[in-house]
Amino acid sequence: MNRTVRILAVLLALLMAVSLAACGNTSPAAPAAASSSDSTASNAAPSGVEDGVLTVAMECAYAPYNWAQPDDSNGAVPIKGTNMFANGYDVMTAKQICEANGWELEIVQLEWDSLIPAVMAGTVDAVIAGQSMTSERMESVDFAGPYLYASIVCLTLQDSAFASAQGKSDLSGGTATSQSGTIWYESCLPQIEGANIATAAADAPSMLMALESGTVDFVCTDMPTAQGALIVYPDMVILDFAGSGDDFEVSEEEVNIGISVAKGNTVLLDAMNAVLGTKTADDFNALMAQATAIQPIG
């Protein structure tokens, strides 16, 4: 009898062990599957336009790329959180992209140095603000485009001693500035031997005012900005050294102007490139001419 009891006890122990082992193999499996599913969902990067609205940041102070105006004339778009409206080449480009994709356009006004951080933080969907597609910026964001090809020039006053400059070496000895955080200031001005480089201007209007007021002898910028400046300041003259053999040395990435989006946002990137890829340099220049023609004076 004792022997029978011992056998039954052993059998019961074995059954319990098998039961516990089975439970141990089954329970972890379910959470593991759920975890994998959750991970896949969390890794799906949002495009930012799921709501049908493309939120674009720009300075709204960088004519003819972008500016602020008091009304919606010439197709201007409201600036979020203000009673002002945005217009310019960047706004026109954003409108074309939105029309092609059936999105609404929302414009947010930010300072230059806040633009890329806003994209990285997801505060805005994209930046369309005349940004060069540099490798340094590409470490932080992805770029659609180009949506413009911008050559580098200088601006000086018509009565300046530098107004007859035929190359960048003729600018030696002059005092110059440009906009902070741009290739104009960081890459181009240092190429002028003997130039006195003043503190960078916070934005394009400040840069132009420094020249107009005589604080500096010349500024470095791109051709669209220079052409727009002549409308507001007819006493300025463009110094274009292209083909002189004494021009600024810039890479293709520095003169290709693109639209920045968050890293990995392929949905938005592809949608924008599908629109921009159908356009030529002549198309870009024609649209820029339209923007320059309607930019406000003063």
Q: What is the CATH classification number for the domain harbouring 188?
A: 3.40.190.10
Show the domain range for 111: 53-149+254-294
Last residue of some domain: 241, 265, 282? 241
pLDDT in tens, 27-75: 333 333 333 333 333 345 688 999 999 999 999 999 999 999 999 999 9
Q: Is the pLDDT of residue 21 over 60?
A: no
Q: Are residues 123 and 167 in the same domain?
A: no
Last residue of some domain: 218, 241, 264? 241
Q: Are residues 141 and 105 in the same domain?
A: yes
Q: Are residues 61 and 145 in the same domain?
A: yes
Q: Are residues 90 and 211 in the same domain?
A: no
Total-model pTM: 0.79
Q: Is the pLDDT of residue 174 over 60?
A: yes
Q: Are residues 88 and 67 in the same domain?
A: yes
User: Cα 98 vs. chain centroid, distance in angstroms?
Assistant: 17
Kindly tell me the burial class for residue 84, based on how many C-beta atoms sit within 10 Å of its own C-beta (0-12, 13-18, 19 or more).
middle
CA separation for the pair 259, 45 (Å, rounded): 18
Q: Are residues 258 and 145 in the same domain?
A: yes
Q: Are residues 104 and 231 in the same domain?
A: no
Q: Are residues 130 and 79 in the same domain?
A: yes
Residue 74 maps to a domain? yes
Q: Are residues 188 and 216 in the same domain?
A: yes
Residue 134 maps to a domain? yes
Q: Are residues 118 and 182 in the same domain?
A: no
Residue 47 maps to a domain? no
Please give the tally of structural domains in the chain.
Answer: 2
pLDDT in tens, 189-216: 999 999 999 999 999 999 999 999 999 9
Residue 21 maps to a domain? no
Q: Are residues 144 and 62 in the same domain?
A: yes
Q: Is the pLDDT of residue 86 over 50?
A: yes
Residue 129 maps to a domain? yes
pLDDT in tens, 112-170: 999 999 999 999 999 999 999 999 999 999 999 999 999 999 999 999 999 999 999 99
pLDDT in tens, 236-273: 999 999 999 999 999 999 999 999 999 999 999 999 99
Residue 246 maps to a domain? no
Looking at this protein, which amino acid is placed at residue 272? M
Residue 196 maps to a domain? yes
Residue 78 maps to a domain? yes
Q: Are residues 75 and 193 in the same domain?
A: no
